[in-house]
Chain A
């Protein structure tokens, strides 16, 4: 017996350690759950960390109001099955109450508008540890972030002055009003996520798998035709066989042509693709070199 752990076992052990550490040290943790594959894996890891006890914290969805129906259905079903408490932080509500202003035009997106309702919900519920499913391989600003990432009383991230984080020793100390963002799957790659989904038989929203959908082309992405996105005159709608590589706001999440209808087929596809998942599906990150860093500084996840 060599006692060697596979890479997935080693990643799982690290993530569970991080989740338990945050819950042990924080007063009021919460887990951000978008219904996407990363948050589905994060939720499974959290369940594993406390089994056979119940999840000792609520889950929160930052709802842009521009959701795929399949994802909302998945969110509600998952939360019900676990018997977890669901908190919804609503962008629509923030717009209605005048706390944020809706963008207009064909490139309008509610992506950035999520920051205000997220921070308001953290403040209202006095959450002091907020689990997120961000991965360092997703994006260059995320590649810089700690597992335990300190946020000041404005929810801001200071990337030039992060707490040193050594060994598997995490410092969750903070004053009232400050909080810690905790990223237990920081070290997982897109491929690790899919291998784990296969290995653990984790359920996902159907839009990750190949399906027929009415779409139109924009900036090389296939955008779903929906009331939430304004088409230009030259953007024609047609039906295609597509799947989504990430799940987010309908106005900025694109699909691509794919016939991969099983997790195994997706793993084959991911192992040969030459485009990153954000490049293949997120219109918002195509806009600027430091778009993610700027959003994160303001409190984005």
Chain B
């Protein structure tokens, strides 16, 4: 198999900071834009009366987006260098579409946050950096864009870097980097800039290629949420009973002693099957089928882990929630369907402790509800126990969604802090 790794990126930033242009530039300079795509956006740019090709038209794929010149929903883009394949989620800058930004950032290995060199750090820049840190995107790169409009000034760049560093010190960011770019002119995007000799770092693409992401995965805590029970009922596989799922974290091997939750039974893994044959070890995020030594009670929504390293089990949970509904507010006492790993239950919000002001990071303890795009700390009680870890330790077993039972809409995204006391 050809060995290049897969890296997920999310781009964020305020409206008009030039995100879509930056992506267009990245695709253009890495020669990932095809002739017919270029011809189409050249024609569209001309039709709009622009005097140069608007690279943003490459990613703004919806009619409404092209008409208004804004990004409404996440657009996914794909490009590759010889070292890496990138999945890039281009997320909206507008406040009203913050929930779509959260969608794009939830799976990202690297967040690119854009700032306009003329405007510095705006409210939206802070909001996006905060959300990226909340969602535990492991690496954050602040791209100071439009350097061509400030005469490629080192002073302007340094000032913005200092201001952002001050703000970021109050966030939980593992790895923070900075790069001055001009997406429009192509400075420091793919090629090093000739206009900023004072900058001795790498261009953005090189940074994205070099960031080490493999060690961001949790390979310590073995967690296997049961997704589906496979029972072929065929002559050849008459007594076959396999537990299918994707390994949420850690590594499983045949012979491992495992504990099943919620039953608490322990048994051993006999074999880890795939269509291509049995395997010796299965690290996250592989999708596999496990066969166990004993026929124990185990079905969808249950979990396998190791006896000496188990998730927390409980029905009262402390979490940060991002609210995503336009029509209803989150209020204490309200009930929702909750999905956590492969398990559905019902949940009641028992307490709203505070609401974040996402630009000042101030905690408003007088808040009584959360509206669209608001973020707060809540306690929930679930109808069935969940098997969870802290989100900061495990993105897969530490996250959940809340679904409104009448409309079936996904209305909240939760990140678990721990059991509620």
Specify which chain A residues have a CB less than 8 angstroms from the CB of B281 in the assembled complex: 1, 3
Number of interface residues of B (CB under 8 A): 79
Q: How far is the CA of A21 from the CA of B342 in the complex (A)?
A: 8
Q: How far is the CA of A106 from the CA of B114 in the complex (A)?
A: 49
Residues of B197-240 at the interface with A, using a CB-CB cut-off of 8 Å, are 214, 217, 219, 227-228, 230-234, 236-237, 240
Question: Is residue B401 within 8 Å, beta carbon to beta carbon, of the partner chain?
Answer: yes
Question: Is residue B409 within 8 Å, beta carbon to beta carbon, of the partner chain?
Answer: yes
Q: How far is the CA of A77 from the CA of B286 in the complex (A)?
A: 31
A143–B76 touching, CB < 8 Å: yes
Question: Is residue B106 within 8 Å, beta carbon to beta carbon, of the partner chain?
Answer: yes
Question: Is residue A50 within 8 Å, beta carbon to beta carbon, of the partner chain?
Answer: yes
Could you tell me the distance in whole angstroms from the C-beta of A235 to the nearest C-beta in chain B? 21
Question: Is residue B85 within 8 Å, beta carbon to beta carbon, of the partner chain?
Answer: yes
Residue of A7, A16, A50, A163 near B6 (CB, 8 A) is A7
Specify which chain A residues have a CB less than 8 angstroms from the CB of B34 in the assembled complex: 273-276, 279
| Stretch in B55-63, B149-157, B258-266, B354-362 with 4+ CB within 8 Å of A | B55-63
B2–A137 touching, CB < 8 Å: no
Could you tell me the distance in whole angstroms from the C-beta of B344 to the nearest C-beta in chain A? 9
- Residue of A with least CB distance to B72: A160
A166–B275 touching, CB < 8 Å: no
Residues of B82-114 at the interface with A, using a CB-CB cut-off of 8 Å, are 85, 87, 99-100, 102-103, 106-107
Could you tell me the distance in whole angstroms from the C-beta of B381 to the nearest C-beta in chain A? 20
Could you tell me the distance in whole angstroms from the C-beta of B114 to the nearest C-beta in chain A? 20
Residue of B85, B283, B287 near A17 (CB, 8 A) is B287
| Stretch in A67-75, A86-94, A111-119, A184-192 with 4+ CB within 8 Å of B | A184-192
Could you tell me the distance in whole angstroms from the C-beta of B102 to the nearest C-beta in chain A? 7
- Residue of A with least CB distance to B219: A3
Please give the residue numbers on chain B whose beta carbons come within 8 Å of chain A beta carbons, in ascending order: 1-6, 34-37, 40, 44, 58-64, 66, 72-78, 80, 85, 87, 99-100, 102-103, 106-107, 214, 217, 219, 227-228, 230-234, 236-237, 240, 242, 244-246, 251, 273-276, 281, 283, 285-287, 289, 300, 324, 337, 339, 342, 395-396, 399-401, 403, 408-410, 413
Given the interface contacts A159-B62, A274-B34, does A8 sit within 8 Å of B1 by beta carbon? yes
Residue of A24, A144, A189 near B300 (CB, 8 A) is A24
Specify which chain A residues have a CB less than 8 angstroms from the CB of B78 in the assembled complex: 136-137, 187, 189
- Residue of B with least CB distance to A137: B78
B236–A143 touching, CB < 8 Å: no
B287–A12 touching, CB < 8 Å: yes
Question: Is residue A14 within 8 Å, beta carbon to beta carbon, of the partner chain?
Answer: yes
- Taking A20-B244, A21-B227, A274-B35 as known contacts, 8 extra A-B pairs with beta carbons closer than 8 A to each other, sorted by chain A number, are A7-B85, A17-B246, A53-B231, A137-B76, A168-B396, A171-B410, A175-B408, A191-B80
Question: Is residue A54 within 8 Å, beta carbon to beta carbon, of the partner chain?
Answer: yes
Question: Is residue A229 within 8 Å, beta carbon to beta carbon, of the partner chain?
Answer: no
Could you tell me the distance in whole angstroms from the C-beta of A128 to the nearest C-beta in chain B? 12
Q: List the 10 closest pairs (A to B, CB-CB), nearest first.
A: A140-B61, A279-B36, A3-B283, A173-B408, A16-B287, A48-B275, A53-B232, A166-B106, A7-B6, A17-B246
A160–B64 touching, CB < 8 Å: yes
Question: Is residue A162 within 8 Å, beta carbon to beta carbon, of the partner chain?
Answer: yes
Specify which chain B residues have a CB less than 8 angstroms from the CB of A24 in the assembled complex: 227-228, 300, 342
Residue of B35, B44, B80, B413 near A166 (CB, 8 A) is B413
Q: How far is the CA of A285 from the CA of B392 in the complex (A)?
A: 45
- A221-261 vs B, Cβ < 8 Å mask (1 yes, 0 no): 00000000000000000000000000000000000000000
Q: How far is the CA of A53 from the CA of B234 in the complex (A)?
A: 8
- Residue of A with least CB distance to B289: A51
